[in-house]
Amino acid sequence: MTTPRFVRPAALALFVAVIAVAGFGLRSIEAAPATSTAKTLDNLNAAFNGESNAHARYLAFAAKAGEEGYGEVASLFRAAARAESIHAANHAAVIKKLGGVPKADIQVPDVKSTKENLEAAIKGESYERDTMYPEFLAQARKEGQRDAIQTFNFAKSVEAEHAKLYTAALDNLGALKGSQAKPFYVCTVCGNTTAQMNFEKCPVCFNSKDKYVQVS
C-alpha cells in the first residue's frame, strides 16, 4: 500500500482511527436474508477502495489548493476527505458483517492545478452519484442487503452534495484566490458536508446536528 506523498501523517492517522471504529454510525439492522452476497460484497469492497483513495486524493488536493492561495478550497477538500473516510468506515463495517475483510490499494494522487483538481473531483463525484452507487444499490436491493443499502444511500446522497460544493467553488475560483480557511461541517454518521448548520437534524441520516464536526 503506497502512502500518498501529499497526505499529512496526522490526517492519515485520523483516517486509520476512523476505520478502526468502522460503522459506529450505522443503525443496528437485523441480518439480511440468507441469500447470495457475493456481488454486493464485491461492490462494498470496490466502494471501500474508492472512498479510501478519495480520502487520500482530497487531502493532496487540499495541500495544492493551499499552496496556490485558495484557502477556502483547501478547507472544502479537507472536509470532503473527512466525509470520504466516514463512508469508507461505514462500508468497512458492512464488509466485516458479511464476513469479508476491507482492503484498499491506495494510489499516489494525480495532483494538478486547483482548477483541474476541482474538475476531476466533480467528475468523480458525479460518476458515483449517477452511476456507481445507483448500480450498487440496485444489486443490494436485489440481494436484500439492508445494511449495504443504507451505507450506499448515505454515500450517494453526500457525493451529490460534494459535486454541488465543488461546482460552486470552480465557478467562483477567481474570487476565491487569496481566501482564508473556512469552516465546513461534516456529519460523523453519514458524511454529509455543509457550510451552514441551518438545521436541527442531518438532512441525510436524520441524526442530531450534534453529530457534526467542524473541519477547516
pLDDT digits (tens, 9 = 90+) for 91-121: 999 999 999 999 999 999 999 999 999 999 9
Does some domain include residue 206?
no
- Residue pLDDT, tens place only, 6-64: 444 444 444 544 454 444 455 443 444 445 689 999 999 999 999 999 999 999 999 99
Q: How many domains does the chain have?
A: 1
Residue 203 lies in a domain: no
* Alpha-carbon distances, residue 145 vs 14, 87, 88, 91, 133 (angstroms): 29, 17, 17, 12, 14
User: Which pLDDT score, from 0 to 100, does residue 35 have?
Assistant: 52
pTM assigned to the model: 0.84
* Residue 106, domain extent: 9-20+37-180
Q: What is the mean pLDDT of residues 140-153?
A: 98
Assigned domain for 29 exists: no
pLDDT confidence of residue 30: 41
Q: Is residue 144 included in any domain, yes or no?
A: yes
Are 68 and 115 in contact, with CB atoms under 8 Å apart?
A: no
How would you label 72-92 residue by residue, b for 16+ Cβ within 10 Å and e otherwise?
bbbbbbbbbbbbbbbbbbbbb
Predicted local confidence at residue 132, as pLDDT: 99
Higher pLDDT among residues 3 and 115, named by residue: 115
Task: Flag whether pLDDT at 66 surpasses 90.
Answer: yes
Please report whether residue 213 resides in a domain.
no
Is residue 139 situated within a structural domain? yes
The reply to whether 138 falls in a domain is yes
Residue 216 lies in a domain: no
Residue 189 confidence (pLDDT) above 90 = yes
pLDDT at 4 over 50: no
Give residue 37's pLDDT.
82
Say which CATH number the domain at 123 has: 1.20.1260.10
